[in-house]
A and B are shown apart, each in its own frame.
Chain A
């Protein structure tokens, strides 16, 4: 009973069953020939319908008034785009060849370029970057290459277009390849290829060109059809976030979700995060019958062999292959909203299948997309990219974006406007345990041989200062009033004829200690740097008033060793926890109570009061002015003692 359509059907099914779905992202502006290239790809692979073609022919005449077919009309779908002759938003195109099905995310090169490129790039397997052979490598192509690399697209094809306008000159092509390769060396691109082409004439797009005998490589379509992408998936680390719990009756409790990475089979042992419960996969359910295994990008439903408490946002992983778990993490973020980043706003976080909220605790730097230089910034505006430190209201389970593209990304949503404001890629930050901060606290106690620095001995410099430089070390809880006392002291000491400066956590963490967090190791390292800085100031003849929580006795002992015991004066700014919390100007206590600030002295970190401070200030009884006066009196007495 083999009839004609059935034979055609068999062939069709065979062919279709072998087809993979490939996502491509392109970007470019009106004049570098991107639309022409896409039009050419669709046209030459016979993916344009007759009536669409007729309409494009008709519209070409209306809009541009010429006889030449305007391929851009195939991709510019919105009325205002056609009227203005520009592409405004990401457009998705579909075409197929005998080997693969393609989804092409076409993004405009000018308006909202970063946001749109990032959107198109987020799911792409292959990036096609256009370069106009006449103009060479321009900022826009660099920008696209950078964003493609930031969003982790594994394969990049650089299409050197309009080769017909430079007489198919191999030297021009080679120069662009070299320049691009040099630039790309600063990015992370796993697979980079170049093609000389003319989209307008079709050379090396679908058909090999006779004009480029010096080019031995493949055509664009051949690359798109043959690049090996299946290996880009992570089939090792099981990450199965629970998206939805299916519970049709009391006897069935299925956990539905996408397999983001790794593989899962019935009988496999899994750990439920964050609860850490262990269970075994009983069955993988599907409408078409039970499955023997599940892998990305499947969306399946699992049942477990025992009663465990699992809900949306939890993640199933293999017992010995765990993601990172933290409520503080760092990420490269693309800001996408007209309202700039605001550090006072608690943004909604969407990550895998979990939702929570985050505060941005630090903006480490803004990245200049043109020069790749890091710039200091207070905020991020629309289409800017920066490295942020984020504090989540709960622990999240993640991998770095580099290691796992699926569990390493997130978006931020504004709590009031509900707009998607940022896309983030989590960075694999060196754990703080590996920073020099873990150096033993006793290190500084070792004798330090005097280094000869410059031509003027320290003693001589100090002699020039009217009064011997000292370091006043103010320790106490957050909110105890250290800052105000320090500023009062600075004024008084300066007026008394000293060169004086104030050092505090905020100043240091903005610059010198910008990469440090607030773990024990981070705090220890920050204090070590503060102490070294104070020492350098003192050596130069400058008195230092340092205000740091410095919660632990050994830490302060280390500081004393570094600064030098003879010029270190410990001042305990002592206030009760309740009054500190009442003054909570930066809402750190509130944050700690709610769990998104950790390691706050007095809450989840001990504060060891100094056993014998040089000066003890009872801030629950003294005013700031009185406190300052108490310290000055102590210094005066000290001087009197020293100079009888």
Chain B
């Protein structure tokens, strides 16, 4: 039933490519279907909540989420601000990218930092990853949501990322303390989302729930979405720490890690805080090369995030406490 689309003469994507495939035989490609679902979710939130906000982490998923939000409200502006929870351990390239994009696209950007914990020099070495994340991410996020009196917050999490995320609703209810109760979630049927909250309660909304990592890269390619250059491979000096490759360039705790040093071509697959995010050996320095790499890759994307692997249910524990 699906005719093969005309082969593009050059692999350079233009916006009209997606358009052509959309209108072929009243059939949408899976990517266009995912796009439609996400747009629907954005609009439902804008129509139902008093004061929504979009979590913006500067990563590739945030970049895709931002594009989808633009599409949902086109030709109008985004009817909500973007919130960046800054742990102070992000890379310079990320800060620069964030500020450039905010200026170019003209969206409202709110940055929140847990200054108290940063002042107390929170770090994973002295505090442990659990406490460090708890203070710089979870607590900072909850404080930011409270300060802005936001009743809904978009997040870029996908269900294919991690096991406990596979069980989370698209509209995920959080109690007064921002906590998630996985055994007591609201049933979610069809495209009808329960948007009711009382004062103090919030809903986390995940417009990318049904996207996979490959879908994200495919969309970045076809839509020409700008992303932080850290995703592209280049030579970096790294330390092999167990299974992880930690880049030492600008690494804040250089003297705290032991292991063999090497210089190799590598890239970030997922962007976290500098002390806790590893790189993967890779030759992929363009989006098509990353997709080619994806098609042959055999590890899941959060494998380079140290915090996820502290305990078997590590992500679930963090989510229960209020983490995205």
User: Chain A interface (Cβ within 8 Å of chain B)?
Assistant: 4-6, 8-10, 12-14, 16-21, 49-52, 55, 59, 75-80, 82, 88-94, 96, 100-101, 103, 115-116, 118-119, 122-123, 228, 230, 235, 243-244, 246-248, 252, 254, 256-258, 263, 285-289, 291-293, 295, 297-299, 301, 312, 336, 348, 350-351, 353, 406, 409-411, 413, 418-420, 423
Residues of B within 8 A of A297 (CB): 28, 33, 36-37
Q: Which of A17, A21, A292, A406 has the most CB of B within 10 A?
A: A17
- Please report the C-alpha to C-alpha distance between residue A289 and residue B74 in the assembled complex, in whole angstroms: 10
Give chain A nearest CB distance to B13 CB in angstroms.
8
Q: How far is the CB of B182 from chain A (nearest CB, A)?
A: 5
Q: Are B164 and A9 in contact (CB under 8 A)?
A: no
The reply to whether A420 and B187 contact each other, CB–CB distance below 8 Å, is: yes
Q: Which B residues from 291 to 313 make CB contacts under 8 A with A? A: 291-292, 295, 297-300, 303, 312-313
Task: Give the complex CA separation of A206 and B144 in angstroms.
Answer: 49
Q: Which of chain A's residues have a CB closer than 8 A to the CB of B37?
A: 297, 299
The closest CB in chain B to the CB of A62 belongs to B312
B289 at the interface (CB under 8 A from A): yes
Q: A5-B292, A18-B5 are in contact. Are A258 and B187 (CB under 8 A)?
A: no
B115 touches A (CB below 8 Å): no
A418 x B40 contact (CB < 8 A): no
Judge whether B51 is part of the interface by a CB distance below 8 angstroms.
Answer: no
B94 interface contact, C-beta 8 A? no
> Looking at B5, B21, B186, B221, which has the most chain A CB atoms within 10 Å of its CB?
B186
Instruction: Assess the A288–B30 pair: CB atoms within 8 A.
Output: no
A77 to B, closest residue via Cβ? B163
Cα–Cα, bound, A101→B162 (Å): 19
Given A94-B212, A420-B187, decide whether A298 and B28 contact each other with a Cβ distance below 8 A.
yes
What chain B residues lie within 8 Å of A9 (beta carbons)? 11, 221, 288, 291-292
Q: How far is the CB of B312 from chain A (nearest CB, A)?
A: 7
User: Which residues of chain B in 27-73 are interfacial with respect to chain A, using CB atoms and an 8 Å cutoff?
Assistant: 27-34, 36-37, 39-40, 43-44, 46-47, 70-73
Closest approach, in angstroms, between the C-beta of B208 and any C-beta of chain A?
Answer: 12
Query: How far, in whole Å, are A282 and B43 apart by their CA atoms in the complex?
Result: 21
Q: Is the CB of B191 within 8 A of A258?
A: yes
CB distance from A242 to the nearest CB of B (A): 9
The answer on a CB contact under 8 Å between A119 and B196 is no
Is B237 interfacial (CB 8 A cutoff)?
no
Decide yes or no: A299 and B36 within 8 Å by CB, A5-B292, A8-B295 being known contacts. yes
Query: In the docked arrangement, what's the CA distance between A55 and B313, Å?
Result: 12
Assembly CA distance A14 to B8 (angstroms): 8
Task: Say whether A243 contacts B295, CB under 8 Å.
Answer: no
Is B129's CB within 8 Å of the partner chain A?
no
- Knowing that A299-B37, A411-B192 touch, tell me 16 more A-B residue pairs with CB under 8 angstroms: A8-B288, A20-B27, A59-B312, A79-B312, A92-B210, A96-B214, A118-B187, A123-B191, A243-B40, A248-B75, A285-B74, A298-B36, A312-B47, A348-B196, A419-B194, A420-B194
Task: Across the interface, name the chain B residue whose C-beta is closest to A11.
Answer: B7
Give the complex CA separation of A88 and B183 in angstroms.
7
Decide if B28 touches A228 in the complex (CB within 8 Å): no
- Partner of B4 from A14, A94, A413 at Cβ < 8 Å: A14
**Closest 7 interchain pairs by CB?**
A77-B163, A248-B76, A21-B30, A79-B313, A418-B196, A122-B189, A49-B300
Q: Report the Cα distance A9→B190, complex, angstroms.
A: 34
A sample of 8 inter-chain contacts (CB < 8 A) reads A10-B7, A18-B2, A88-B182, A93-B166, A94-B210, A101-B212, A288-B19, A289-B15
B84 contacts A by Cβ under 8 Å? no
Fill in one digit per residue for B158-202: 1 if any A CB lies within 8 Å of its CB, else 0.
011011111100000000000000110111111110101110000
Q: How many A-B residue pairs have CB under 8 A?
A: 227
Chain A residue numbers with a CB within 8 Å of B71 are 286-288
Q: A287 to B67, alpha carbons, bound, how many Å? A: 10
The minimal Cβ–Cβ distance linking A6 to chain B, given in whole angstroms, is: 5
| Closest beta carbon of chain B to A3's beta carbon, Å | 9
Task: Confirm or deny: B105 has a beta carbon within 8 angstroms of a beta carbon on chain A.
Answer: no
CA distance A9 to B12 in the complex (A): 10
Q: Min CB distance, B313 to chain A, in Å?
A: 4
What residues of A have a CB within 8 angstroms of the CB of B47 in the complex? 243-244, 312, 353
Contacting residues, chain A, for B17 (C-beta < 8 A): 13
Asked whether B4 lies within 8 Å of A18 as measured between CB atoms, the reply is yes
Cβ of B85 to closest chain A Cβ, rounded Å: 25
Report yes or no: A350 in contact with B167, Cβ–Cβ below 8 A. no
Taking CB atoms, residues of chain B closer than 8 Å to A6 are 11, 288
Nearest to A301 among chain B residues (CB) is B74
Name the contact of B29 in the complex, choosing from A16, A51, A258, A286 (C-beta under 8 A): A16
Residues of A within 8 A of B159 (CB): 92, 94
Cα separation A348 to B77 with both chains bound (whole Å) = 31
Chain A residues whose C-beta falls within 8 Å of the C-beta of B46 in the assembled complex: 244
Report whether A89 and B194 are in contact in the complex, using a CB–CB cutoff of 8 Å. no
Q: Which residue of B lies closest to A81 (CB)?
A: B167
Which residues on the A side are within 8 Å of B162 (C-beta)? Answer: 77
- The interface residues of chain A lying within 8 Å CB-to-CB of B221 are 9
Question: Once the chains bind, are A78 and B190 in contact (CB under 8 Å)?
Answer: no
Contact of A256 among B72, B196, B214 (CB under 8 A): B72
Cβ of A94: which chain B residues have Cβ within 8 Å of it? 159-160, 210, 212
Query: A240–B234 Cα gap in the complex (Å)?
Result: 49
Q: How far apart are A237's CB and chain B's nearest CB, in angstroms?
A: 14
Q: Are A288 and B31 in contact (CB under 8 A)?
A: no
Would A20 and B30 be within 8 Å (CB), given that A59-B312, A411-B194 are in contact?
A: yes
Closest to B290 in A: A5
State whether A5 touches B44 (Cβ < 8 A). Answer: no
User: Is B286 in the interface zone, CB < 8 Å from A?
Assistant: yes
**B residues in contact with A350, CB < 8 Å:** 192, 194
Which residues does chain B contribute within 8 Å of A19, judged by CB atoms? 2, 29-30
Determine whether B321 belongs to the interface, using a CB cutoff of 8 Å to chain A. no
Contact A5 B2 (CB under 8 A): no
Contact yes or no, A287 B11, CB < 8 A: no
Q: Are B194 and A418 in contact, with the CB atoms below 8 A?
A: yes
Which of chain B's residues has its CB closest to A74's CB?
Answer: B163
Contact between A103 and B26, CB atoms less than 8 A apart: no
- In Å, the complex CA distance between A141 and B257 comes to 55
- Residues on B with C-beta less than 8 A from A4 are 292
Q: Are B210 and A12 in touch, CB under 8 angstroms? A: no
Contact B19 A77 (CB under 8 A): no
B236 at the A interface (CB under 8 A)? no
Asked whether, in the complex, the Cβ of A103 is within 8 Å of the Cβ of B210, the reply is yes
- What is the CA–CA distance of A57 and B313 in the complex, to the nearest angstrom? 16
Whether B11 and A10, one on each chain, are in contact in the complex, defined by CB atoms closer than 8 angstroms, is: yes
- Closest Cβ of chain B to A77, distance in Å, is 4
Q: Does B18 contact A (CB under 8 A)?
A: yes
Question: Smallest distance from the beta carbon of B206 to chain A beta carbons, Å?
Answer: 11
Residues of A within 8 A of B31 (CB): 16
